[in-house]
């Protein structure tokens, strides 16, 4: 939705949220929308011919009724005794996860730098008219046993990924990047041999969406629990997995916005000593001449070393702990598959500049938006599970310009 539509949607939900125990007549709703300057009095009273019959209708009220139907579809409001013009908040739901229906979009919260939207990602990003510098995301894995939030099976996974990425690719700036964390531990049915779904997905992304593969970056996490359990701990065929693959794509490799100077790591003590003594004192060739170590190599005093294309990160972080704490305080479910904040933080620094737009179409705990905010990048995140986006709002409360849709206060 454009910003004005999101603002109107937020005001309408606010009207119902501010009257949790009393139904609201459409007449009262229209008056409040005029008072809040969403419409003028004339706009709420004027009519014009519509359709082949040229029947007179008020288009402003029709727009409001469309939003009411959207809220009804979300399970947020309901008609009172079947009445057409009297609506109220529904009873609070249980602790099941509530997914946004297809086409439904709602502004969940925002800061001065970004917005979080509850909705199916294809609906959220299809109408986006804003150049994207980086998309970093971790989509649901094609697991045999589905997680609570649901995930596609292996047969439908390629279409699921391509259709989700398509609107992002359309808005990607020249030299922009898409970074995706996929699952590594997907096996052929009933066998200890790994599925080739990763190879199939990567080929499809490049061939169908016209992207180029920049790198495969293993995320090494040695604190991962032993797995896959059946083939590792029971039958002892496999080694215990310690990494997940991260794939980096771009639409134009020669215009890529990456700069490894933004992610330099500290030099080792031995390298610092080498620089101080004027570099290497040897002049040798090895590897059948493939490598030549010259005298005074590494003598230049540089600010840091270029990172290897392997990320060693544990899965735990302070933001994950804060998310779990907030979920407990709100009596809401926590997320079952959060990556650490250090993953999006690294790629945001590496692949974007301050002011660039960073997006995440499977935002989960909202960490991509959180790190973009802290690094001075603009951001848009979407999440289709209402409970997750409500909890992630807690991580942004102290950020400048934070505003939360009042309807989220009723999520419990």
Q: In 3-68, at which residue ranges do the beta strands (DSSP E only) sit?
A: 24-25, 48-50, 55-57
Q: In 67-196, at which residue ranges do the beta strands (DSSP E only) sit?
A: 77-79, 86-89, 105-110, 114-119, 132-137, 172-181
Strand partners, 382: 117
Give the range among 173-187, 206-220, 329-343, 367-381 with minimum mean pLDDT: 329-343
Contact by Cβ (8 Å): 151, 141:
yes
335-351 mean pLDDT: 92
Give the dihedral sign, CA 136/369/244/306: positive
User: What is the separation of C-alpha 351 from the centre of its chain, rounded to a whole number of angstroms?
Assistant: 16
Per-position b or e across 126-146, b if 16+ CB within 10 A of its CB: eebeeebbbbbbbbbbbeeee
Q: Does pTM top 0.85 for this prediction?
A: no
27-41 mean pLDDT: 87
Q: At what angle do helices 342-351 and 367-374 cross, to 10 degrees?
A: 50
Which secondary structure element, helix H or strand E, spans residue 155, and what is its range?
none
- C-alpha 248/C-alpha 134 separation (Å) is 10
How much is the pLDDT for 222?
84
- C-alpha 359/C-alpha 281 separation (Å) is 48
Q: First and final CA of the chain: distance in angstroms?
A: 26
Contact by Cβ (8 Å): 296, 276:
no
How much is the pLDDT for 64?
86
Which secondary structure element, helix H or strand E, spans residue 262, and what is its range?
none
Contact by Cβ (8 Å): 375, 349:
yes
Give the range among 91-100, 179-188, 294-303, 367-376 with minimum mean pLDDT: 91-100
How much is the pLDDT for 93?
37
How much is the pLDDT for 19?
66
> For residue 74, what pLDDT band results from cuts at 50, 70 and 90?
low
- The β-bridge relationship of strands 132-137 and 172-181 is parallel
- The β-bridge relationship of strands 212-220 and 172-181 is unpaired
Put residue 37 in one of left, alpha, beta given phi > 0 → left and psi -120 to 50 → alpha: left
Please say if the pLDDT value at position 304 is more than 80. yes
Q: Which long-range contacts (CB under 8 A, 24 or more apart) does 80-89 make?
A: 80/23, 85/25, 85/26, 85/27, 86/23, 86/24, 86/25, 86/26, 87/16, 87/23, 87/24, 87/26, 87/29, 88/16, 88/19, 88/22, 88/23, 88/24, 89/16, 89/17, 89/19, 89/20, 89/410
Please say if the pLDDT value at position 135 is more than 60. yes
Candidates 243, 155, 238; CA nearest to 197 is: 155
pLDDT single digits (tens) 152-188: 666 788 999 999 999 999 999 999 999 999 988 888 8
Please say if the pLDDT value at position 297 is more than 50. yes
How much is the pLDDT for 274?
80
Contact by Cβ (8 Å): 275, 210:
no
How much is the pLDDT for 261?
95
pLDDT single digits (tens) 375-396: 999 999 999 888 999 999 999 9
CATH architecture of 95-216+313-410: 3-Layer(aba) Sandwich (3.40)
> For residue 1, what pLDDT band results from cuts at 50, 70 and 90?
very low
Per-position b or e across 327-349, b if 16+ CB within 10 A of its CB: beeeebbbbebbbbbbbbbbbbb
How much is the pLDDT for 4?
52
Q: Is 358 exposed, middle or buried (0-12, 13-18, 19+ CB in 10 A)?
A: buried
Candidates 180, 78, 73; CA nearest to 123 is: 73
User: Hey, which of 58-67, 118-127, 253-262 has the most confident mean pLDDT?
Assistant: 253-262
> For residue 73, what pLDDT band results from cuts at 50, 70 and 90?
low
Q: Where are the domains of the chain?
A: 1-91, 95-216+313-410
Cα–Cα distance list, 338 to 8, 318, 325 (Å): 32, 12, 14
CATH number for 1-91: choose from 3.40.50.300, 3.40.50.720, 1.10.10.10, 3.30.1310.10: 1.10.10.10
Contact by Cβ (8 Å): 329, 393:
no
């Amino acid at each position: 939705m454009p910003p004005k539509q999101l603002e109107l949607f937020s005001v309408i939900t606010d009207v119902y949220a501010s009257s949790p125990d009393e139904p609201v007549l459409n007449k009262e709703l229209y008056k409040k929308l005029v008072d809040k300057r969403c419409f003028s009095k004339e706009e709420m009273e004027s009519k014009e011919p519509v359709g082949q019959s040229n029947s007179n209708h008020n288009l402003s009220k029709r727009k409001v009724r469309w939003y009411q139907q959207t809220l009804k579809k979300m399970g947020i409001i309901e008609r009172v005794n079947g009445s057409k013009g009297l609506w109220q908040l529904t009873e609070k739901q249980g602790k099941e996860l509530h997914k946004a229906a297809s086409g439904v979009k709602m502004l969940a919260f925002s800061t001065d730098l970004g917005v979080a939207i509850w909705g199916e990602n294809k609906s959220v990003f299809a109408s986006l008219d804003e150049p994207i510098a980086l998309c970093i995301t971790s989509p649901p894995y094609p697991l045999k046993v589905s997680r609570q939030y649901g995930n596609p099976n292996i047969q439908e996974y390629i279409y699921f990924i391509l259709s989700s990425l398509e609107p992002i690719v359309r808005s990607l700036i020249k030299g922009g990047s898409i970074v995706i964390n996929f699952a590594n531990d997907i096996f052929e049915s009933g066998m200890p041999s790994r599925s080739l779904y990763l190879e199939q997905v990567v080929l499809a992304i490049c061939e169908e969406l016209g992207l180029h593969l920049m790198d495969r970056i293993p995320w090494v996490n040695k604190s991962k629990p032993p797995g896959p359990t059946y083939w590792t701990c029971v039958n002892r065929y496999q080694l215990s997995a310690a990494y997940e693959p991260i794939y980096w794509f771009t639409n134009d490799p020669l215009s890529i916005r990456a700069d490894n100077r933004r992610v330099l790591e500290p030099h080792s003590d031995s390298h610092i000593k080498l620089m101080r003594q004027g570099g290497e004192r040897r002049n040798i060739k090895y590897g059948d001449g493939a490598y030549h170590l010259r005298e005074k190599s590494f003598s230049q005093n540089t600010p840091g070393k270029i990172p290897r294309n392997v990320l060693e990160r544990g899965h735990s972080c302070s933001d994950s702990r804060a998310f779990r704490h907030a979920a407990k305080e709100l009596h809401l479910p926590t997320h079952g598959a959060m990556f650490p904040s250090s993953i999006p933080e690294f790629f945001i620094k590496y692949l974007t500049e301050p002011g660039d737009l960073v997006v995440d179409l499977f935002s989960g705990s909202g960490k991509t938006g959180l790190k973009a905010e802290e690094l001075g990048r603009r951001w848009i995140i979407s999440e289709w599970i209402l409970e997750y986006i409500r909890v992630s709002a807690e991580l942004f409360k102290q950020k400048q310009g934070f505003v939360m849709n009042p309807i989220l206060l009723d999520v419990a």
